[in-house]
Structure formats: C-alpha cells, structure tokens
C-alpha cells in the first residue's frame, strides 16, 4: 500500500514499463517512507483513441508519454501527497525523460480495515502492519 | 476532474468510442458546470466473458451496449450527482442510441489535496483551480 | 453493489475466469448477505510485466495465479470486511485451487447517492434499494 494503477497510451516496451514502475516505486519510497517491499502496481496501456486527457484550462501540454496515476492509499497528510507529486514528476523526468506536464495523479483514500494483502487477513487490524 | 473510467464490452469502432466519450463530456459539462477543458476519460473494452453485470433484482435488462462509468471526483452534492445520472442516460440515448438500462454509474469522492493535473503541482491547493 | 474489479496475470481460459467470477460472487453473498442478483464484476488480465505485486515484508509468496480485488462498496462494518477476506480466500482455494497468499483485496467505500444501477436513477435514494 499504496496500490498504484498507471494508465498510459500503448506502445512501450517491457523495459520501458519496467523503468517507469521502478521509478514510481522509488518516488513512493521517498515521499511516503513506506517499507521497501510495499509495492503494488498495475500498468495498463490503452489505444490512443481510448484516452482523452485535457487540462481544465491550465495550459498543460500532453503527449503520448502521458501517465495517469490512480493511487489507492490509507490516509496521508497533504504534505505527503504534495511530496509524492514532486518526487514522481522529478524522478520520471530524470530517469525516463517523461515531462512533468505528462504526469497526472488522483489519490483515493481508505481505512485500515480496507486492506488484505493476502492469506485472508486484515493486516492493519491484526497488527502485522501499522 | 472528474476523472471518468468507462468499461464496456469490446467491439466498438474508434468513431463509436469517440461519440460515447464526447457525449459523456457534454453530460458532465451540463450536470457539473465544470470548465470546458475539464475532461479526463479512459475507455476500456473487455471480452464479454470478463464482465458480469446483473441488476440487484431491479429488472434492468443489459445488452452488449452496456457502459459502466466509474467517476472519481471531489465532493459533489446529491442533486448534482442525480443530475449527472440523468444527463448521461438522456444524452447517450439521444446521441448514441444507448438504452438508459445499459448505463451504470459509481462515484468515488476525494479531496482537494488528492489531485495533481500535471507539473507536480496540487492545483486545488495552490489556487490555480478551485 | 459491491462493484468488484479483478486484476490478474493473463492466460486463463474463459472457463477459468467464469469459475473465479462465480466463486467471488458466492463469497460476496456469504460475507455481505446481499441480493442474489447483486453482481457487478469486471475481470482484467494483464501481461506479467505490467503487474508488480510484492508483500510489504509480510513474506507472502505470489504466483501467476495472483488475484487483485478492488471492491467499490457502500459502507460496511469491519466485521463484514474481514468476513469477505475469509470467504474469498477459502472459497477460491476450495473451488479454484488459488492459494490464500495469492489473494489481495482493497476496499473503497462511498455513499448512497453515489450509485445508479441503470435508467438514470439513484436507486438508493429513491428507495428501490436500501
């Protein structure tokens, strides 16, 4: 946790996807300070015609490199969320030459009882995770 | 914002998808009164065997035209949500001959700090959006 | 409701998907006691390179049989959620030989006004559902 879904325009190689997923994980570690093995990622490529991403008038240019991050997480402070946006954009630019204007993030929060990471257990309730 | 995911049975042409996405955007504009360029849409076609959509006993018939809308949005009033359901079904029926019985919507709300539309900025916190 | 998304590594036959979806529905019925026809499921297979699922140090082994459940639901008690985790893992193991260590669940809650199951109506507000 967080669980991160990444939607993108199709066309990347496995190696490019691997770089994006690894860079995303490094940003989550830096921003949220989670466990090194706290990594849950699903990358979904889409035909270009199936994604329409504009900018609410913010004049943010989009290219086919665009990445939409949907982040499912327990509650985090505003400061941590802002840190995530910064780490993600900086690291994706450095490591994968993805422009900050091509990175959009939407966070959805839930609670301790809402996660089971396996074995039918609610690990945040049983105290295995905190 | 909202960010809208649409899941459907596979088989539509790009032109049909374009019509659905455009009609969906017109419904969002009419219901929520958002900025003309507030458009964030991802359409995902699925093999028929991978979607099972029933009706909780409401006797709502489903066809292969079925559309599932998952809408991620900041908080909206009940009245605005109901308006969205009405605009979506009416406009999809008029523009794309999709029956209102084939339109399901699930809304998930979040908060101002949960959005970055690009550039690593939380635009609802910095005041660029309100 | 709930609306359940299942993400998995690609490679299952339609019959295998059908078994997983049917078993999932039986778990939801047992755990939440919902209407028999309260079934809304989307199964999405992914190339192996596009899913990275670790374990937050919990030493939970993952295989290509792994299933990620994202459950969108109105509010449920902690007890009901724990029951869902137990029913899902037990039934998937029994019926489909999927190890409990390969079952992860993330629940996202919303409210009565956030659902329209068809016809442009908010069925939890109009009293058709409760």
Q: Over the stretch B22-81, which tens digit does the pLDDT of each residue have?
A: 999 999 999 999 999 999 999 999 999 999 999 999 999 999 999 999 999 999 999 999
Q: What is the pLDDT of residue C6?
A: 99
> Token digits for A98?
């993805």
Interface contact B109-C110, CB threshold 8 A: yes
Strand A115-116 and strand C103-110: the pairing is antiparallel
> Token digits for C23?
């078993």
Interface contact A44-C46, CB threshold 8 A: yes
Indicate the average pLDDT of chain B: 98
A64 CB within 8 Å of a chain C CB: no
Q: What is the pLDDT of residue C120?
A: 98
CA distance B53 to B127: 41
Interface contact B82-C113, CB threshold 8 A: yes
Give per-10-residue mean pLDDT for chain A (130 aa).
Answer: 97 98 98 98 98 98 98 98 98 98 98 98 97
- Is 90 exceeded by the pLDDT of residue B1? no
Gyration radius of chain C over CA positions: 15
Q: Considering only alpha carbons, which residue of chain B is nearest residue C112?
A: B78
C126 CB within 8 Å of a chain B CB: no
Distances (CA, A) of A101 to A93, B54, C50: 10, 40, 23
ipTM reported for the complex, 2 dp: 0.97
- Tens of pLDDT, residues A24-50: 999 999 999 999 999 999 999 999 999
B4 CB within 8 Å of a chain C CB: no
Interface mutation target, options B69, B106, B107, B111, chain C, most CBs of C under 10 Å: B106
Our separate counts of H helices and E strands in chain A read 3, 6
Q: Kindly report the nearest CA distance between residue C48 and chain B, in angstroms.
A: 18
B41 CB within 8 Å of a chain A CB: yes
Q: What is the pLDDT of residue C1?
A: 84
Active site residue A2: yes
**C-alpha torsion B77→B81→B86→B92, nearest 10:** 140
Indicate the average pLDDT of chain A: 98
- The stretches in chain C having pLDDT less than 50 are none
Interface contact B60-C129, CB threshold 8 A: no
Interface contact B110-A105, CB threshold 8 A: no
CA distance B74 to A81: 16
Nearest to A100 among B25, B42, B120 (CB): B120
Interface contact A106-B110, CB threshold 8 A: yes
C53 CB within 8 Å of a chain A CB: yes
- How wide is the angle at C-alpha C9 spanned by C-alphas C8 and C11, nearest 5°? 115
Residue A113, strand partner residues: none
CA distance C42 to B87: 25
Nearest to C117 among B49, B55, B90 (CB): B55
Strands lying side by side in the sheet with C67-74: A115-116, C103-110, C67-74, C3-9, C40-46, B51-53
- CB contacts under 8 A, A 65-84 vs C, are 72
Q: Kindly report the nearest CA distance between residue B126 and chain C, in angstroms.
A: 27
CA distance A74 to A130: 11
**Whole-prediction pTM value?**
0.98
HSE of A40, CA atoms in CB hemisphere, 13 A = 32
CA distance A83 to B86: 39
Interface contact B117-A90, CB threshold 8 A: no
CA distance B120 to A86: 5
């Amino acid at each position: 946790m967080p669980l991160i879904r990444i939607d993108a325009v199709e066309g990347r190689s496995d190696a490019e996807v691997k770089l994006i997923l690894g860079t995303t994980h490094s940003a989550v570690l830096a921003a949220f300070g989670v466990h090194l093995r706290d990594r849950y990622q699903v990358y979904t490529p889409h035909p270009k015609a199936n994604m329409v991403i504009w900018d609410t008038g913010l004049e943010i240019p989009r290219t086919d490199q665009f990445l939409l991050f949907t982040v499912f997480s327990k509650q985090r402070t505003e400061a941590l969320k802002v840190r995530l946006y910064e780490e993600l954009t900086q690291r994706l630019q450095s490591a994968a030459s993805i422009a900050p204007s091509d990175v959009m993030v939407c966070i959805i929060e839930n609670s301790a009882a809402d996660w089971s990471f396996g074995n039918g257990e609610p690990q945040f309730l049983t105290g295995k995770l905190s």
